[in-house]
Chain A
Amino acid sequence: MQNARDTFYVTLRDRLAAVNPARTMVLRGVTRPGVLVEENELPSAYQPVDAFCLRWTGLSVDAQGALPLVTLVCEIGYATDGDSGNGGMDRGRLLSAMDGELVAAISSAPQHVPKMNYVAAAGGSGLAPVAMATNVFWSDVAFGAATADGERLERVATVEVFSYQEAGEL
């Protein structure tokens, strides 16, 4: 399951960076594409704005087939305060732009990639991630209602991510 999560995140990150290379964030002193997985970062009370925050929530396993089919629910939260140079009056447009980027990244074909195992590449080993035998595939994105928190506009979108649990995979 973790391999599917990792693969989906890396795929989404690369696609979002291709759609809008200017959407970046600075996290712990390093500029990176404006997308992160909450559970992989240090706990923080601060919510990043103008960036996509992935949160893994639901999980179900269908064990009827030859390989168990795992369904993961990924919530993608994002928020914007608008551009301070415009007095925040463009926050609706900026949220709409983020909606569009998410659609372009998730709904563009193909909606599947080979599942990768990144564990061997950890710790600066220099090893490449290992391609596994099955694919990770996902649904179209479903958008929740935009909510206003003061001058901040927020939205949570949901994607279902599917993968087959391979033998020996944790």
Chain B
Amino acid sequence: MADLVSRGAAAVRAANVLLRCAGGRSVLLRMPANASAGDTTEQLGLAAPEFQDVELAPVVFRKMRQAATALSVKVDKAARWELMVSATAVQGLVGSLGYSAASVLFATAFGVLIDGVLMEVVSATESGVFGTPYVYRLVLQSPLALVV
């Protein structure tokens, strides 16, 4: 068992090194503040939540290949990007922000702020070894306002 854990940790370290070597940078994950329990007006869109930006690093940001993006007519118009995120950074955020899992963290996020552009998170998947995730892959969609 300890062998599996150490192999998983080794994979995490290797992924972090790869991400840093392949142009590792930092981005900001924009998280909405928790809703007010029992506040009907918030459910009616009468109150907007506050947001906080939390750093994700190291990450690698790149454009997706066209062949992999053609999922529907709607999303074809918007360019899609890929963000490879260190599992170390994600696990740190999951713990400190009090989320139960990385999937919940990314489902709750309002978007990812990259060089001043807020991109929507389309999907989030993880790659793992021996039960330990070592990298998360986010598919991002550029805002429709920027689509030419």
Contacts and interface: CB of A to CB of B under 8 A. Distances in A.
Contact of A122 (B32, B37, B41): B41
Contacts of A41: 45
Contact of A30 (B35, B46, B141): B35
A87 interface: no
A51 B110 CA distance: 20
A28 B32 contact: yes
B43 A121 contact: no
Contact of B36 (A40, A46, A124): A124
Nearest to A48: B107
Interface residues of B, number: 25
A161 interface: no
Contacts of A119: 46
Contact of A121 (B40, B49, B121, B123): B40
Nearest to B106: A46
8 contacts: A9-B43, A29-B35, A30-B34, A31-B37, A37-B44, A45-B120, A45-B121, A45-B122
Given A28-B108, A30-B34, A36 B43 contact: yes
A128 to B, nearest CB: 11
B108 A30 contact: no
B44 A30 contact: no
A44 interface: yes
A119 B45 CA distance: 10
Interface residues of A, number: 28
B36 A30 contact: yes
Contacts of A85: none
A32 B32 contact: no
Interface string A18-49: 00000000111111100011011111111000
A10 interface: yes
Interface string B49-91: 1000000000000000000000000000000000000000000
A32, A36, A45 interface centre (most CB from chain B within 10 Å): A45
A40 B35 contact: no
A13 B39 CA distance: 13
Given A45-B120, A45-B123, A40 B43 contact: yes
A28 B121 contact: no
A123 interface: yes
A99 interface: no
Contacts of B22: none
A123 B34 contact: no
B47 interface: yes
Given A28-B108, A44-B107, A121-B40, A37 B32 contact: no
B44 A9 contact: yes
A26 B36 CA distance: 12
Given A10-B40, A124-B36, A124-B39, A46 B107 contact: yes
